[in-house]
Amino acid sequence: MRDFLQRLPKAELHLHIEGTLEPELMFRLAERNHIALPYADIDEVTEAYRFRHLQEFLDLYYQGMDVLRTPRDFHDLAMDYFVRARNEGVMHIDMHFDPQAHMQRGVPLASVMQGLLSAVRHAERTLDLSVGLIMAFLRDRPVAEAAALLEQARDYWPYLSAVGLDSAERGYPPGRFADVFARAGELGLARVAHAGEEGPAAYVREALDELGVERIDHGVQCMADEALVERLRREQTVLTVCPLSNVSLGIYAAVTEHPLPAMWEAGLNVTLSSDDPAYFGGGMLSNHLACAEAFGWGKSTFLSLGRSAISAGFMPEARRQTLLGRLAEQEGGSGT
Ligand code: HPA
Ligand SMILES: [Zn+2]
């Protein structure tokens, strides 16, 4: 199964590039930028990565990214992950990034964009990996700041696939960002939002109705609302589900407790992603393996999930056909 899951051409639709910062790279960048870290060594970092809820993670996530200062840092961060992901059979990534988290500590938007865009170009040329860019707004920061960021990013609009909404969820209903998302829609950008991760099912509905999103990141809390499940099933809204993330943040006690099998049974359009692999115990392959082990899913289920993700990824149509073709090759050889 491991070989099959590794070879399976995968599209990862929910990935925060800042959440791919492995402790090794954090130490390397801290040294390069002469920054003192609050950790003595890598073991201390790993020890600190025990979270009871989303906010505890976010505190360390925003702290960790302080080592990212220059375009070269962002380039190295992204390439480091792209190489790892490619070795796990990932062929496409829709990558969230959090400009406000960098700008509020004095890193210019241009540094973030130059570094990430050069890594994306390099990966597309050398790794046979396609990448979509999702510029995320921090929902626990002022709406006006998000609106200003969208305008400030004018030079980069042609390079963006979508806007997203992330950070602390409870108490920050998505509807507050309706105008910003409407503007993004006018600009021709796709829209996605985190909703129903820790927050209530009502936030999922609100993201659909007031932000016009075409995908929901996480969305697992929808299972508490039968009518919403029925709507998500009818509309086949893509949900980017991240099982190891949900367990790491204490939303479920173990992968065996995760509602993914129930979501699948309910006919929801689920896909698998890793969210913040450096913080949550592994990337795409680990997430797939955890599901295989916990749910006993066979090859045909993973082929189907993989097809859903490729079908929904922000990539050119020709690339989509290539990846669907690669998936079909695996199907032919999978014996299912
Ligand atoms: O899992 C997450 N949830 C919300 N915001 C985030 N920003 C990075 N990761 C996350
Ligand atoms: Zn996320």
Residue (of 128, 137, 51) closest to 96 by Cα position: 137
Which atom of ligand 1 sits closest to the CA of residue 18? 8
In this prediction, residues 34-38 reach a mean pLDDT of 96
In this prediction, residues 135-151 reach a mean pLDDT of 98
Q: Distance from the CA of 194 to the center of ligand 2, in angstroms?
A: 7
Substitution site in 15, 167, 221 for ligand 1 pocket (most atoms within 8 Å of beta carbon): 167
Substitution site in 16, 100, 240, 248 for ligand 1 pocket (most atoms within 8 Å of beta carbon): 16
In this prediction, residues 143-169 reach a mean pLDDT of 98
Nearest CA to ligand 1 atom 6: 167
pLDDT band with cut points at 50, 70 and 90 for residue 72? very high
Which H/E stretch holds residue 192? Answer: strand 190-195
C-alpha to C-alpha distances, 309 to 23, 35, 249, nearest whole angstrom? 29, 39, 24
ipTM: 0.96
- pLDDT at res. 332: 83
Which residues are part of the catalytic machinery? 197
pLDDT band with cut points at 50, 70 and 90 for residue 205? very high
- 75-95 per-position pLDDT tens digit: 999 999 999 999 999 999 999
Ligand nearest to the CA of 168: 1
DSSP string, 236-276: T-EEEE-HHHHHHTTSSSSGGG-SHHHHHHTT-EEEE--BS
- 171-196 per-position pLDDT tens digit: 999 999 999 999 999 999 999 999 99
Q: Is the separation of the CB atoms in 8 and 289 below 8 Å?
A: no
Q: Distance from the CA of 279 to the center of ligand 2, in angstroms?
A: 12
Residues with CB under 6 A from ligand 1: 16, 19, 54, 61, 166-167, 194, 197, 245, 275-276
- What structural domains and CATH numbers belong to the chain? 2-334 (3.20.20.140)
Average pLDDT, the chain: 97
- pLDDT at res. 333: 73
Q: Distance from the CA of 167 to the center of ligand 1, in angstroms?
A: 5
- 217-254 per-position pLDDT tens digit: 999 999 999 999 999 999 999 999 999 999 999 999 99
Which atom of ligand 1 sits closest to the CA of residue 98? 7
Which atom of ligand 1 sits closest to the CA of residue 16? 8
- pLDDT at res. 334: 59
DSSP 66: G
- pLDDT at res. 57: 97
Q: Distance from the CA of 1 to the center of ligand 2, in angstroms?
A: 27
In this prediction, residues 14-34 reach a mean pLDDT of 98
- pLDDT at res. 335: 54
* pLDDT above 70 coverage of the chain, percent: 99
- pLDDT at res. 254: 98
Binding residues for substrate, as ranges, are: 276
Residue pointed to by tokens 């990539």: 315
- 288-309 per-position pLDDT tens digit: 999 999 999 999 999 999 999 9
User: CA 196, CA 205: separation in Å to the nearest integer?
Assistant: 9
pTM of the model: 0.98
Substitution site in 194, 249, 274, 279 for ligand 1 pocket (most atoms within 8 Å of beta carbon): 194
Which atom of ligand 1 sits closest to the CA of residue 167? 5
Ligand nearest to the CA of 98: 1
